[in-house]
Structures are given as structure tokens and as C-alpha cells.
Structure 1
Amino acid sequence: MPTASQRAALLGHDIRNAVSDILGGLALADLTGLDDTSRQQLVRVRSASEQLARLSDEVLALVTGESPGEPHQNSALSLRDFLTDTNDRWSAHVQEKKLRFAIELSDDLPPLIGCDRGALERILANLIGNATKHTQQGEISLSVGMRARETLCLTVRDTGPGFSDEAMALLFEAGGRPVASKTPGSGLGLHIVHDLAEQLGGHIEVGNHSLGGAAVSLLLPRAAWAPGPAQRRDGDHALPDLSDKRVLVAEDNKTNQLLISQMLDTLGACYRITSDGQEALLALEDGPYQLALIDIEMPRLSGLDLIRALRQRETLGHSSEGDGRALPVLAITAYVLSANREEIYDAGADGILAKPIMSIESFGHAISNVLAKHGDHSLPSLKAEAGFAPLNDLHLDRLMALAGDANGRELLDRLRQDFETVQTGIQDGLRRPDFALLRARTHVLISLAGAIGADYLQNMAETLNTAAHNKDSSLSGVVGPRVISQVNRVLERLTQEFEDRFGEGRT
């Protein structure tokens, strides 16, 4: 008999596969021809499915005692995009009760926050759900703004009866519902919200609005919401340019085949789709390929067996790329526990992408990581490169706040001097060439870029640093000029910041 942990792992795999089909189907569907009501309902289903995928991971972690999926830090989150998704999910739900739903945003909101998306979704789901349940007419509103000392405040208000004295006395208790309450429910909502708010580093305020109805606020101090120096938003990673890549895809699910095909088309790849492991193994004879995307659970020959067979061919001198190099392999799977990951890596995979595939950004980032392990730093197009922000405004704002008014001028001036020194050194190192100088200057640049949230520049500096260590003149010749170009953009941004804050150029 399988243990409870083993059964949970199997159920988690099946749930992920089912959610993957739902999300994949919705991603492929053209909603433009639908009426507004139908479109809103499908958007609501998509949003709820994404949350279901995250919640299933949390449940699996609780049952098995481990964190599913690849280890990661919380990513920075676009606050306005998140609130747009919240509106898409809840507006139709609230309108079903003949209520109005409104989101009110202040003008001074930070563009990015460093909070866990899943926790925020659960908090708002409970607050908006409770407000909808207790309101018979009028509206539900979500207002988001800043309070004193850069405290981020999200408030859900309703036009219902508000909290009774008995309900206020039982706030945040598990099952804390007044005995006389006739509204269906378990009383767990505010208990969950309270615990999640504490996990985020914030707290909850509850009361009745002066004009009637309840008002519940989530308050997050700056330390709880500001992205840390190491945090990045998925969308800030450069999507890889695969226009020179031939990709082998082994995937038996038709929905996933279509979804992966669309994403590879977007990235410019040439690809071949195979429907099982045996077909994929035969397709290797028609190489060369520069990347393989392999589903782990397939008929005839599993993904694990396919990867093992591929690596065995390479040890015998049959390289899929035709030049003796190993083929980069990204495994795609709904199995997410550590034992599953270890088995996949042991078989020879270079990386793992968990189902469901939530976005093209996560898809592209996983591919970039796999290619980088094989020394292939696929750069974005120059046009795409120019579209990335030179630095993260929140990071710079945070540095300036730490420096204080008295030292802010000196900090900005020092940053510009340091970037100019690094830029001059890199230019000299490329011209000579001097790999020792390149190593030294890029080492400094990596830290400088990280301090101001210049994620793309930091990644490029790391690539140039690796090229300098390997004395790879061809790679440094490609990456070096792009690094210098990005440093120029950072310097322009720092100069503009100096003028905006102090009304003058450098003294």
C-alpha cells in the first residue's frame, strides 16, 4: 500500500496535468469574438486555475513535508497587472449578485512589489468573497493606496450590514462566527487572512465604514512589500532569441503541443513535434538539434528513458548536434517533488520546467538557463534589448532612502563615477584584449548592477565575466559592446535622476 505522502504525490501530479490542460486550452482560445459576459467568465476561470495550481503545490508541501518545484525566491510582482487580474477574476463573480465591483488605485503606487503572489491572491479572495456573501445590494470596492511611511494599504469595502459586536469579538478565530449568524460559511476566512498577513510581514485592520458596511484592510510596511536586491520579475528576463535553433519537442498531450508550438514560434525557433518517446528517439537521427524539450510521462518510451537513451548515444559519439557536444535538455513534467527531480536530473536533464506552464516568460527563462549551462548565452534581439529598463526604480529609491537627504547627492555622484570607471576599463580590456582587466571590471559591474536592480546588465556582465575567465574572445567580442551600451543607458538614467532630485548636473 502506498503511503499517504506517495498518494499525495500521485494526486498532485494528476491535478497538475488537469490544470495544465485547462490553462493550456484557455491560452489557445481566441476570446475576442465572445460577448463581454462570456469573455469575463473564461478570464475568471483562467485566473482561478492559476491559483489552483499554486494552492495544489502548497497542499502537496504540507502533506509531504517538503517544498515542491525548483527552489526559488519570491519574484517581484507588477502591482497593477496583479490588480487587473484580480478585477478580471472577481468582477463577473460580484456582478452575478447584481452588485457593482470597483477597483480604486492611487497615483503613487509602486510599480513592483516583492510579495508572494499566492498569499496576496488568497487574502483578497477571502476578503472579496466574504464581502460579496454578506452584501445584498450596492457595491464591493477594492482601494489600493499608500499610507504614511510608505505603507501599502489594500482595503475591501462593502455596503452590507457591517460587523456586529459579537463578530468583532470573535475576529481571526478559527470558526469564529456568531452563533446567530444566518449567512452560510465556516468562519475561516478572516482567520486565514490574519495568518497570511503575518506571513507577509503585515497586519489586518477590521472595522465598519462610517457610511455603512464593513472595511477590511491589509497593511504592508515598506519592508514587507519592497523588492529586495536579489529579486527579479519574470518578465524582466530577456526572452531568448531561438531564431538559429532547431528544437526537438517530445510531448504526447495535444493541448501542450499547441501551446509549446505557439511559444516556440514567438521565440523564433524551428522545431519538430513528436508524440511519444519512441518517435522522438527516431527523430534524433534527423538532427542536428540545438535543444530538446521532453515531457517525462509519455507512451511507448518515457521521457526518462528517452533522456537516458539520448545521453547513451552521446557517450558512443553520436551527438545530436553533429559536433560532439551534448544536447541541452529541458524536462517538462507535472512531477514536482525532490525525489522526482533528482531522478530526472540523474537521467541527464539540464533543467526542469513544471507543469502547468504559466507564461512565456517562465518558459523562455527555463530555456535560457538550460542553454547557458552549455555555454550558449542566447542574446535577445537588439530591439528587444533596448526595451528593458536600464535599472529598477524601486531599488534606486530604496538606496536613496537609506542614504538620506544629506547623503543622496553624494551617493548618486559616486554611482556615476563607479559606472564610468567600469565602462572605461571594459573598453580598454576589449581593445587590447586584456582578459584580467575584463574579469576585474566585470566583477565590480556585477555588484553595481545588482545594487540598482539593473538585472539585464547584471546578467550580461556575468556572461562577459565568464568569457574573460575562459579567455573566449569570440563571446567577449559579442557581449562586450552590448554591456557598454547598457552601461551608457544606466549612466543616462542616473544623470536624469540627479537632475530631477537636485535640479542640476554634476558639480
Structure 2
Amino acid sequence: MKKINLLILDDREENIISLRALLEELDDLHIIAHTDPNEALKVCWHEDITIAMVDVQMPKMNGFEFVSLLKSNQKTNHIMVIMVTAISKEERYLLEGLRSGAIDYLYKPLNPEITRAKVRSFIHQVRLQEEIKQKNIALEVSGKELLLAKEEAEHARKSKEIFLANMSHEIRTPINGIMSVIHVLKTSPLSHEQLEWLGILDNASQSLLVIINDILDLSRIDSGKFKIEMEDFSLTKFIDNMDRMFKVKADHKDLHFIVEKEGDLPDNVVFDALRLQQIVTNFISNSLKFTEQGSITFNVKLLDIGPKGYLIRFTVTDTGIGILTDHLPKIFQPFEQGDGAITKRYGGTGLGLAIVKQLAELLEGEVGSQSDVGVGSSFYFEAWFQKSKTEQAQKPNEPYINFPKLDDVQILVAEDNDLNAFMLAHMLKTWNCVVDIVKDGQQALDAVLQKTYDLVLMDTHMPVMSGFDAIKAIKALDDTQKNSMPIITISASVLAHEQAAAYEVGAQYVIVKPFDPVDLYSKITSVVGANKTVK
């Protein structure tokens, strides 16, 4: 340990020798002595002096003046000064010493034990101050490292978000084209074999979309940006949709799909319908994947009615391969599956159930499972559903080509992907819309300058000029008929800030690819007006 430098200043050499001998037994000290105050000041400026024992009465400069000079200099004002005096013990001398900056007094003749005890006390105080100083330095370094780590983590988060946004856009765009073709083919005369192929294609595209949504949802949950959106919806219709959707998939595997309802279930409730569908779909899809024969049962049970509304449990039970008891805790963890060998055989990302668990927590619900190897598995989700105060409007179930026609609605489609543009235009023309197509934002602006449209359907990510910039340019036009023109963005981005940006620049609605024709039709009719609809 580094020794502490102690200065002894006294005009009498014999006093220095006596005091040095008295303090020699203190191992932590390195003693420097001077009889000349001016020389002592130079030492204090150039050496790391920590404690000074200063005589009061000296011919060239008294101790009070010496201490005042020390305390007035930034390089030496930290030195702890003990005044040593043989003059009167009157309070006025004590006060003068303390005012000059001294922290203690010793009176001659010095008591050896008291002198050593006081110096030890100051040495201990210096060590504590040094320790605090070092800890503060370490804390400052740690704070800088923490700030740097936070900045790096934020940079990594933003990089991941940008990557996921780009990945989502690049994958969703072709998926939207594929699913649009599927929608068109469903309205065409096809053979039974062709319908089966179409069903396989539809399932494959839906499965790919689920994987993309799982990755994005996991990222949003981890970053704290995931939002729960409560809304009124039809629980009865939700159960019927699950029955209709998965009965077909179960039939393809020669499995029985059974729907059970227990208790006086309400028709309409308030909940996040999209997240409920995500949870239940995940359970049933897993059962379909791991069940080779037998049945899959989807049970919806009313457990309780209280001030919070309805406590409802959704349970999916299968007769599949089952899961080992010691593997059950792993299945709700991200990127984990019950058994590596099973993963190789059946595939999967290991994200689904992890997202289900996190969704359940966000929804203030509960998930659980039980399983017997070779017998089957059971998964459940339960939560409180608020009571609905409104009846729900039902979406049309007929094919989109049978929707009421739109009377000569002039629509500009700005889309750089040829397949998406073609399929979107085809869909719009089945509703008797007049469609013009452009491939970038600049062409969209030029088209609007030449012609007034009832509606613009604008992709957000395009070359030359983005959809956002095109909307800004249109809204900045002097022509009120053109700058008030309704604009709906159709984007492959699912990031909340990008969707919010579309509304900020002037879009009436945001539709996410791949879109539902029902949703598109509904939004078009809401902005172009009822007078355009042919009954």
C-alpha cells in the first residue's frame, strides 16, 4: 500500500527531530520536514502531501498565514492541516487557526499517545477518502461502460428492428401476390384435384405468414412495444371459424376435429380477438402436426361469471405422440422444443408456444399443459373476457366477386411489384372500379396532377419516390379537390411507427399485406361514399 506523505513544518530543528521520532512507529507515513515555510510551500506544490503538521509561531511566516496560502491554491487545498503551538490555549487562537483552514490543534509539549492517535485517525480518514475516490472513479467508469452498453444494445435493437422490417416487407410482398392469386382461383371453376392443390398452397402460405408474425411478435414483446387491443367481437363466430378452418385441415390427415362448448357461453365479448386467435391457432396447429391418428378436440368452457366478466377456458386435446414429463417445462421457452429428435422429424421454429405464454401474460391470462407419451397432450388458455355492450356486424362470407359493385369508382394503384399490382387491379375491376396503375411515388404524383381520382391505393416502399413522400406531395397541392383526395396505404410493414407515419402524412387507412379482400372492400366503401355503390 502506498505510504501517505506527511509534512512537518517548524522553524526549530529540534522540534522536527522530536516529532519525527514520535511518529516513526507509524508504518503508513513518509515524513518530509522543513524549517522554512517558503520551501515547505514548494514541497506542497510539487509533492503529494496529504497531512501537514504546522507550527504556529515562525519568524518569516506564521502558521496561520502558511495554512491560508495552502487553502487558497487548488493544488494544495486538499491537505489536512494540524496546527502545533506552544502559545496560549485561548479560544481566539484556536478560532484563528480553524478559520485559516486547519482541522485540529495540538499543544506543546506534545502528548505522544494523543499525537499518534490523532495522526492515525487522519491516516484512516485519508484512506477512507482515497477508497471513496477510487470507488467513485470505478463507478464513473462503470457508468460509462453501462451507458456504452445501453447505446450498443439500443443500436442492436434498432438494427434488429430494421432487419425485421425489411425481412417482413420483402417476404410479405410476394406472399401477398400468392394469396391474391389464391383468392382469385377460389372464384374460378376448378376440378376437385385442383381445389385440393389450392388448399395445400393456401395452407403453405398461411404457415409461412404465421412464422413471420411469430418472429415479429417475439421481437415486439421483447422490446416492450407490443400492444394489446381490446375490442368487441363475436365469440360464437370465432368458435365457428375455428371449426370451419381446422376441420378441413384435420380431414386432410384423416383426423376427427371436434368442437365442444360447455356452459352458457356469451355470444359477444370484449377481448383482443386477434391474439386469442393466435393462441388457439397455435395450440390446434401443434396438435395437427404431432397427431397421426385419432382426434383433436377444441373445448370452450365457461368457468365463472363475476365483476370482471366471463372467465373462459380454451382447451385443445389431441391423441398425438405426447411429451415427456421432464420436457414439458421447456416447450414454453423461446426456440425450445420438447425433443430434438422430434424437431428433426416434425420441424418447427420453437417460437409458437413461447409467444403464446407471453401473450397470455400480456392478456392477464394463464396457459398450461399436460401430456402422456403415446397417449396425447392437452393445452389450455384461460382469461377474463369483458361483457360486450354492442352487437357485432358480421363480415360477409360470400366470395369477394359477389360484393356489391362500385359504380365507376376511379382508383389509382401505386405499386412497384407487378404481381401485386396485377392482382389488386383484377380484384378492383371485379367491383367495376376503373383502375390506373403506376410503379413509384413520382408517377403517382404525376398521375394525380393529370387526373382527379376517387381514391389512391399507395404502396409505402417504392423506388424513385416513396409512398410517404408521394402522399406529402399530394397533400401539399394547391388544388383542394386533389389534396383532399382519400389515400389508403397498402404496406408490407407491420411496424407500428411506420403505420403511424402513414397516418401522420395524411393516409385515411393503413392496410397490411397480405390483406383480406373483405377489409379492402370495407375501407374503400367507407372513403368513396355510399353513392358509388350499386345495390
- Shared fold per TM-score greater than 0.5: yes
The unaligned stretches of length 5 or more in structure 2 are: 1-154, 397-402
* Residue 44 (str. 1) matches residue 203 (str. 2): yes
Structure 1 partner of 2:119? none
Aligned to 2:410: 246
- 1:327 maps to amino acid: M
CA distance 1:46–1:83, change in 2 (3 Å): farther
1:202–1:228 Cα change, 3 Å: farther
Distance 1:362 1:294 in 2: 16
Q: CA deviation at 1:356?
A: 0.4
**Comparing both structures, which one devotes a greater share of its residues to strand?**
2
**Match for 2:484 among 319, 323, 326?**
326
C-alpha distance 258-114 of structure 1, shift in aligned 2 (>3 A): farther
Output the amino acid matched with 1:271.
Answer: V
* Residue aligning to 2:175: 19
Change (3 A) 1:60 1:18: farther
Q: Is the 8 A contact 1:8 1:63 kept in 2?
A: no
From 465, 470, 484, the equivalent of 1:306 is 470
- Taking structure 1 as the reference length, the TM-score comes to 0.56
Name the one with the larger helix percent.
1
The answer to whether structure 1 residue 355 and structure 2 residue 515 are counterparts is no
Percent pairwise identity: 24
Corresponding residue of 1:158: 318
Q: Secondary structure at the match of 1:33?
A: coil
Distance 1:187 1:329, change over 3 A: closer
Aligned length: 360
Distance 1:189 1:311, change over 3 A: closer
Residues 79-478 of structure 1 aligned to structure 2 (within 5 Å)? 79=235, 81-83=237-239, 86=242, 90=246, 94=250, 98-106=253-261, 109-132=265-288, 134-147=290-303, 149=305, 151-160=311-320, 166=326, 183-184=342-343, 192-204=355-367, 206-207=369-370, 213-223=376-386, 226-227=387-388, 235=395, 243=407, 245-265=409-429, 269-312=433-476, 314-315=477-478, 318=479, 326-337=484-495, 340-341=498-499, 344=502, 348-367=505-524, 371=527, 378=530
Q: Distance in 1 between matches of 2:498 and 2:514?
A: 18
**Partner SS for 2:485:** coil
Judged with a 3 Å threshold, the aligned counterparts in structure 2 of structure 1 residues 114 and 280 are, in CA distance, closer, same or farther, namely: same
Aligned CA distance change for structure 1 residues 222 and 309 (closer, same or farther; 3 Å): closer
State the alpha-carbon separation in 2 of the partners of residues 54 and 214 from structure 1: 25
* SS of residue in 1 equivalent to 2:458: strand
Q: Structure 1 stretch 284-293 or stretch 159-168: which is displaced more?
A: 159-168
Offset, 1:41: 1.6
Q: RCO greater where, 1 or 2, for CA within 8 Å and sep 6 or more? A: 1
Specify whether residues 9 and 126 from structure 1 end up closer, same or farther in structure 2 by C-alpha distance, changes over 3 A only.
Answer: closer
For normalisation by structure 2, the TM-score amounts to 0.53
2: distance between equivalents of 1:326 and 1:164? 62
Q: Which amino acid aligns with 1:6?
A: I
Residue 100 of structure 1: how far off its partner (Å):
0.9
Name the CA shift for 1:306/1:72 in 2 (closer, same or farther; >3 Å): farther
Using the alignment, how far apart are the partners of 2:350 and 2:449 within structure 1? Answer: 61
- What's the secondary structure of 1:55's corresponding residue? helix
Specify the SS of the correspondent of 1:20: helix
